[in-house]
Amino acid sequence: MSSEKQRLSEEEFQDRVAAYCLGALPPEEMAEIEAELEHSPQLREAVAAYDASIAALALAPAIQTPPPGLRDRVLAQVGEAAAPPADRTMRVLPAPKRRFNEYLPWLAAAAMFLLAVVSGARAWTLQNDVTDLQQALSTTQTVPMENSSAAPNAQGRFYLAPDSHRGVLVVADMPPLPSDREYQLWLIRPDGGRESGGTFRVDSGGYGTLLVQASQPMHQYTGVGVTTEPMGGSVAPTTSRVIGGSFQKARDDY
Amino acid sequence: MAYTNLSDEELMTRCAHGEREALAVLYDRYATPVFSLVMRMLGAGMTAEEVTQDTFVLLWRRAEQFSAERGRLLPWLLTIARNRAIDELRRRQTGPAEVELVDAVGGYPGLEELTLQRIQMRRALAQLPDAQREALELAYYGGMTQQEVAEHLSLPLGTIKTRMRMGLQRLRDLLQETATLHDES
């Protein structure tokens, strides 16, 4: 006989079990029984004895057909939840601040993952993740960002696959911006011309990411730079570079 | 791959690996009983849809936690749905939806066995003494504790405890009788 049953009469014990099965006890008593279930075979047996009765209550309600759009909404929400883990985690990752370097290997993997799969060409599965990541790891080049007096503590990396049109910028400790301005990334052509790679903002830790889709393969550019621009971006840089990096220098260093 | 041929357990494993098609098949199998239970608890409206949606999203997110050794999927899923619906009831702090038990019996598409079980369950419930059924329904569908049921019905707590215990026991006996009759027929 369990300790539970020793304290209570058989009837009281059964009353309590019935109430538990119906979820009709206060939360603390529900938790007590949950704990007791772990080590009391008698209690588990008593609870199991009501399985069929509880199933009857669960399945007895009049049949209601779910509305047609609900299935799509469930799958859409799950699709968001199952977005590439790198993308999801990067958004919630606390601002790295001075520990940026500690995140580098992880950020690199995350960025490569984005490079590989963010275009969504393939259905997302774990196996596809692994395959894409392996492919990306073998081709991705890392370009360290050099800061300027405008952002003396800023750190960043630009990840690119030379033969692809995509790159990922990851920055930390960038200066905060007023609400009417944002950062803009520029791809630098060999003739010195600039092509916008998109705009981004940073969080309270100065942390931000940007996925870049270029018009040419990345090996056609010599580097990237980041400036502050009015919200929505500019057609050409209107301020001095905050951070930037040279693809050629990165290749030479490598 | 024919996901529709996979068992619940196999589909849950695939959900845990991020395969949305597996979730789609589980939705097709079980959305009707889940939605029916939630509608019974909350009544019609967007909230019932939202709770059903939450239930399947939670199923997806907790897919790794599911263990077939500890039980079948449907009861697990209905428990999630019921808990979510109770959260909503407590948020509203209103009573359960109008009690109803007898209606035209429909069918779960592709779930003939479940339909038969359900008919038997409804018959068994309908045979319970009214007082016992009321106590069970207020607790199970209304999300009330036994104390709250006692207050709701202005009856002593001991009476409600007894009705709940005897109601569940009687329901179990009725279901066993029905199953025995079915086996013998």
Res. A217 pLDDT band, cuts 50 70 90: confident
List A147's β-bridge partners, or say none: A243
Minimal Cβ distance to B168: which of A53, A66, A78? A53
Query: What percent of chain B is predicted at pLDDT more than 90?
Result: 44
Does residue B178 or residue A213 have the better pLDDT?
Answer: A213
**CA A151/CA A118 separation, integer angstroms:** 29
Whether A19 and B147 lie within 8 Å, measured CB to CB: no
A150-184 residue pLDDT tens = 888 888 888 887 777 888 888 888 888 887 788 99
Q: Does residue B181 have a pLDDT over 80?
A: no
From the CA atom positions of chain A, what is the Rg in Å? 28
pLDDT at A201 over 70: yes
Closest-CA distance, B48 to chain A, in angstroms, reads 9
Q: How confident is the model at residue A96 (pLDDT cuts 50, 70, 90)?
A: very low
- The pLDDT of residue A198: 86
Higher pLDDT, B170 or A112: B170
Q: Which has more confidence, A250 or A235?
A: A235
pLDDT for A15 equals 93
CA distance A214 to chain B (A): 30
Contact A232, A199 (CB under 8 A): yes
Q: Is the model more confident about B100 or about A3?
A: A3
> B59 with B23: CB under 8 angstroms?
yes
Chain A residues in contact with B36 (beta carbon < 8 A): 61-64
- Alpha-carbon distances, residue A229 vs A11, A40, A183, A187, A226 (angstroms): 75, 66, 6, 15, 9
Least confidently predicted of A25-39, A166-180, A236-250, B103-117: B103-117
Euclidean distance between the first and the last CA atom of chain B, given in angstroms as a whole number: 39
> Is the model's pLDDT at B76 over the cut of 90?
no
B78·A78 Cβ contact <8 A: no
Q: Which residue, among B127, B165, B174, would best test binding to A if mutated, counting the most A CBs under 10 Å from its CB? A: B165
Assess A66–B contact: CB distance below 8 Å, yes or no.
yes
Q: How much is the pLDDT for B57?
A: 92
- Rounded CA-CA distance A26/A19 in Å is 10
Of A25, A52, A73, the CB nearest to B175: A52
| Winning range, highest mean pLDDT, from A99-108, A137-146, A194-203, B155-164 | B155-164
Mean pLDDT, to the nearest integer, of A20-35?
89
Q: Residue A126: list chain B partners with CB under 8 A.
A: 17-18
Of B52, B75, B144, the CB nearest to A58: B75
Residue A5: pLDDT over 80: no
Mean pLDDT check: name the lowest of A221-235, B26-40, B65-79.
B65-79
Q: In what order do the strands lie in the sheet with A243-246?
A: A146-147, A243-246, A223-230, A181-188, A194-200
Highest mean pLDDT: which range of A44-53, A210-219, B105-114: A44-53
The answer on pLDDT for B99 being more than 50 is no
CA dihedral B66, B68, B70, B71 (to 10 degrees): 100
- What is the pTM assigned to this prediction? 0.54
- Work out the minimum CA distance from A176 to partner chain B, whole angstroms: 35
Determine the average pLDDT of the residues in B155-175: 94
More reliable by pLDDT, A119 or A27: A27
For residue B33, list chain A residues with Cβ-Cβ distance below 8 A.
58-59
Whether residue B145 and residue A67 make contact (CB cut-off 8 A), yes or no, is: no
Residue A82: pLDDT above 50?
A: no
Q: Averaged over B98-123, what is the pLDDT?
A: 49
CA distance B87 to chain A (A): 12
- Comparing CA positions, the residue from A148, A129, A140, A137 lying closest to residue A245 is A148
Residue B129 has pLDDT above 90, yes or no: yes
Maximum alpha-carbon separation in chain B: 58
Nearest CA in chain B to A74: B53
Interface test with A, best of B1, B12, B20, B170 (most A CBs within 10 A): B20
Query: CA triplet B121, B127, B129: central angle to 5 degrees?
Result: 125
CA distance A151 to chain B (A): 40
Question: For residues B87 and B81, which has the higher predicted lDDT (pLDDT)?
Answer: B81
What would the mean pLDDT of B150-155 be, rounded to a whole number? Answer: 95
- As a whole-number percent, the residues of chain A with pLDDT over 70 amount to 71
